[in-house]
Amino acid sequence: MLSGLFKLHIQYARHQAHEFIEKMSSGKDVIQAFDDYDWSGEVLLTKTFKRISPTISVETNDKLIWVSATEHEFMSEYTYAGQVDHFFGLWKKKGRIIADRQDLSKADARKALEFFVAGQHDAPLSLYY
């Protein structure tokens, strides 16, 4: 894992969309936060509060990944700066690359975070496509 710090945001079912807990965390702490999160309990509370899905997001420099749980699976999105195709791939320019997936297993959602905090920023893409 990287020795740097990551901006970790944790959202619980009771939060409004703009509310979250933010802290600077090591890569190890990010994975521990994922493991310690009561995903199934928070998903049940989502039905009560009807606000947001339980979510963990992690930022570093120009990269962001988030994972969120639903009743049956995990969703995730990975965003970073890169070369974006234009004009049917004939031209590239700088832009934001966004990869997402709506049907990840809990193990794959954790793996995406592990890749991210390890600095293997191309690796999560294999989980999204």
pLDDT value of position 81:
85
pTM for this prediction = 0.86
Confidence tier at 3 by pLDDT (50, 70, 90): low
Distance from C-alpha of 114 to C-alpha of 129, rounded to nearest angstrom: 17
Share of the chain above pLDDT 70, in %: 98
Q: What is the mean pLDDT of the chain?
A: 90
Nearest to 75 by CA among 56, 100, 98: 100
The pLDDT tens digits for 14-45 are 998 889 999 999 999 999 999 999 999 999 99
Residues 35 and 67 sit within 8 Å (Cβ to Cβ): no
Residues 125 and 9 sit within 8 Å (Cβ to Cβ): no
| Dihedral over alpha carbons 101, 106, 108, 113 (to 10 degrees) | 90
Confidence tier at 6 by pLDDT (50, 70, 90): very high
The pLDDT tens digits for 86-99 are 777 788 888 888 88
